[in-house]
Structure formats: structure tokens, C-alpha cells
Amino acid sequence: MKKKFDIFEHTADVGIIVYGAGRDELFSNAAYAMFSLITDLDDVTSSERIEIEVEADDLEILLVDWLSRLLFIYETEELIPKEFKVITGDKPSLKAEVYGEKLDLNKHKINLLIKGVTYHQLYIKQKDHRWEARVIFDI
């Protein structure tokens, strides 16, 4: 299995470098990486399903909006996403099926509280037939 992401420390924040064979996989892996920072996803089942659609002016904004929407759902609906089936469109947009389960503090240990997704040092690029993105989270 190819590596999905790397984690790096950033002054009072934490960041990820995410990899994907295509944009769909890149956006899926970014979401997986963000929630793996929050809790151990091995403890999360895929018992609930939601659909999400996001549009933006460019891919970087789309990535921030996608992750921010997921973070909002986690905070307001207490749903911990684990699996992400993402389809990106030509116009910077995406449709996704997201699977996870409701937060249960008896079952899920919260490792990190993410306050938000930032634009600081954000990038998405294609590199050697692979996609790569960098995202920093405010913690």
C-alpha cells in the first residue's frame, strides 16, 4: 500500500503532506489524514453515511473548504468520518460519500483538537505522475 500522508510539526500547529494517484485519492487521503490526527481511525466503524458536495474557485480553496466542511460536521453532528469516496469535477468541485460513526468518548480517544484548516503554506501540485498537497491545521 502506498503511503497516504506524512505529518509535520509547525509552530503551535500541525501539518500534513498528502499523496494520491489522482485528485480523488488526494482529497480522500487528506480527509483521512485529518481525522487520523483527531482519533485512532481503527476504532471507528463505517456505520453511518452522509453525502457532501463542495465547489470553490480553485483546487486549494476546494481542499480547505472540503476539510473545513468535514470538521464542521464532526463538531456539530459528532460524526467521526473514516472512509471517503470522493469524485472531483472539472470545475473545482467534489461530491463525496463519507462513512463513519457517532463520537463515543467511551470508545474514541481524542488525540488532538483541530480548530481549523488554514491557507498558510497550502499547495496542491502534480509531481512525477502523483498528486501532492500540503495543509496546516490550527490546533
Q: Dihedrals φ, ψ of 96, to 5°?
A: -145, 145
Specify the pLDDT at position 93: 97
Three cell numbers written together for 131: 498528486
Residue from 11, 115, 41 nearest 72 by CA: 115
User: What amino acid occupies position 128?
Assistant: D
Specify the pLDDT at position 12: 77
pLDDT at 1 over 70: no
**Which residues does residue 2 pair with via DSSP β-bridges, in sequence order?**
none
pTM greater than the 0.85 cutoff: yes
Give CA–CA dist 44/120, Å, rounded.
30
Q: First-to-last CA distance in the chain? A: 29
pLDDT in tens, 94-122: 999 999 999 999 999 999 999 999 999 99
* Domains in the chain, CATH or no CATH each: 5-138 (3.55.10.10)
User: What amino acid occupies position 121?
Assistant: Q
Q: What is the rounded average pLDDT for all residues in the chain?
A: 95
Place of cell 463520537: 103
Specify the pLDDT at position 88: 95
pLDDT in tens, 3-40: 899 888 777 799 999 999 999 999 999 999 999 999 99
